[in-house]
Structure 1
Amino acid sequence: MARSTLRRRAVDARELMDDPNCDPVLLTRTYEQFQVVNAIVSGWHGTYRDRIRPLLSPVLPSTLLDVGCGGGDIARALAHWAATDGLQLQVTGIDPDARALDFATRTPNPDGVRFLLAESSELVDAAQRFDFVISNHVLHHLSAERFADLLIDSELLCRGLALHSDIRRSAVAYGVFSVGTLPFFHHSYIREDGLTSIRRSYTTAELRIAARRGWTVEAHAPFRNLLSYAASTAARSGGPEPDA
């Protein structure tokens, strides 16, 4: 792909697995392979180690909400890492796609992650609160309106720390993923949808413009943005000002 085609977000591009009529066998295989792909590129173990683990306790339970959890691999990984460290973390994963929740609930879940078919707005309406609110590779899927809604919901749901991790768009990221996945991930949507995701994702500068006040954007290796919000900091400053 020419470098010039990555200068702007491909907001009209659509991922194949988002089609409600996509092949169910390929979709299941995609969910299965997410665990491998996310372990390599998502960086969540480092984020858990640096941002989440220091705030956990071996005695007092903390709660974490994974928004748009997909097949649930990140939610299960976070619960497993905390349990391995002897720390108390109760993880809930939500997704509005029944196909994702079906896969998540059929997958072995030894650390007791709770999975729900829900939107973040439904938990806001139910006055739910969590110590951590996270998402993985969700932001680039959203329209500008839904993006803003997710950040507002995160502020309302979070009493501690919100962390939204997403792909960082670049020609290098596109080239590395294209070449690196070519021999692998057959019979799934991983490669084609992954390339579409890179085209739809934000650069760090674009994400800083899109984010609400009170949120911080950091560029992380290898090709990732981390959008974060600290509820305690916002409370001390009187909270983020509402956006138009």
Structure 2
Amino acid sequence: MTLAAREPALAEIMDGPCDEVRLFATYRHFALANRVVSGWRRIYTTRLRPLLAAGPMRLLDIGFGGGDIPRALANWADADGLDLDVTAIDPDERALRFVRSSGGAGRDGEGRVRFRAATSRELVAAGERFDVVVSNHVLHHLGDAERAELLADSATLGTRLIVHDDIERSRLAYAAWAVGALPFAVDSFALVDGLRSIRRSYTARELAAIEPGWRVERMFPWRLLLVRDEWSGAR
């Protein structure tokens, strides 16, 4: 497999009707993988914490999945004594059922995150605004029209910083996941869907070519950040 071109027609199991027990296990396994490779601690330290030092902020996470990223951001801010109000949305009711089963509904069990089954378009229609908008592993799930809508919505919803964090497609990333996620294959879709995610994902050049007005940044390992902020002049 060369991975020379994206495979956007390749469906991920978790995006369609599937066994909910295995789906919930997939959320848990992806949460572990996120801690290792997604780089959110680095994003928080270098981008969010400096903004928070100036005062309270509202943050929106779009497509929360298993809910681990918004909870981590809220917990890090809490540990630093900073005031971060976090709302996390996902249109998939199964994701909301998972976070209810793993830590509370509405605001999470410790009162730090507000989880909602909603779309970004619904928040735009409601006139919502947030200082920061983020997403993790969402872009590669979307078709062209859906991606354009998400980016338009996030540009409307976010006022200071927008960061969409996703995988960069590469043979090394594919090989690493094929080996590292083997234990996840027993009870979840994480191995298969992770490999399909990589095959659906972008290279930096591809993402930059289709999304003018956004800044594409690489982050180790195998990460692409699609960024807009109030200082970049991209808005």
Structure 1 portions without partners, runs of 5+: none
Return the TM-score normalized by structure 1. Answer: 0.90
Return the TM-score normalized by structure 2. Answer: 0.94
Are the aligned partners of 2:70 and 2:88 in contact in 1 as well (CA < 8 Å)? yes
Are the aligned partners of 2:29 and 2:184 in contact in 1 as well (CA < 8 Å)? no
1:100 aligns with 95
Q: CA offsets per residue over residues 165-193 of structure 1, 9 Å max, x none?
A: 00000111101110111234520011100
1:45-194 maps to which residues of 2 (within 5 A)?
45-57=41-53, 60-108=55-103, 109=108, 110-184=110-184, 186-194=186-194
Against the structure 1 CA distance between its residues 167 and 31, is the aligned structure 2 distance closer, same or farther, given a 3 Å change threshold?
same
Are the aligned partners of 1:79 and 1:91 in contact in 2 as well (CA < 8 Å)? yes
- Match for 2:177: what amino acid? F
Are the aligned partners of 2:185 and 2:192 in contact in 1 as well (CA < 8 Å)? no
Q: Which stretch shifts more, 220-229 or 184-193?
A: 184-193
Displacement after TM superposition at 1:233 (Å)? 4.5
Give identity over the alignment, percent: 50
Are the aligned partners of 1:128 and 1:157 in contact in 2 as well (CA < 8 Å)? yes
1:227 aligns with 226
The structure 1 segments of at least 4 consecutive aligned residues displaced by more than 3 Å after TM superposition are: 231-234
Aligned mates of 1:168, 1:74 — CA distance in 2: 19
Aligned mates of 1:217, 1:136 — CA distance in 2: 15
- Tell me which of 9, 14, 17 is aligned to 1:12: 9
Q: CA offsets per residue over residues 54-79 of structure 1, 9 Å max, x none?
A: 10038x32110000111211000000
Are the aligned partners of 1:148 and 1:212 in contact in 2 as well (CA < 8 Å)? no
- Match for 2:113: what amino acid? V
2:26 aligns with 30
SS of residue matched to 1:229: strand
Aligned mates of 1:212, 1:105 — CA distance in 2: 38
Aligned mates of 2:175, 2:232 — CA distance in 1: 39
Q: CA RMSD in A?
A: 1.4
Are the aligned partners of 1:79 and 1:111 in contact in 2 as well (CA < 8 Å)? no
SS of residue matched to 2:26: helix
Displacement after TM superposition at 1:28 (Å)? 1.1
Q: CA offsets per residue over residues 15-48 of structure 1, 9 Å max, x none?
A: 001112x011101111122221110111110011
Structure 2 portions without partners, runs of 5+: none
Q: Which stretch shifts more, 118-127 or 177-186?
A: 177-186
Aligned mates of 1:223, 1:111 — CA distance in 2: 33
| Count of residues paired in the alignment | 230
- Match for 1:135: what amino acid? S
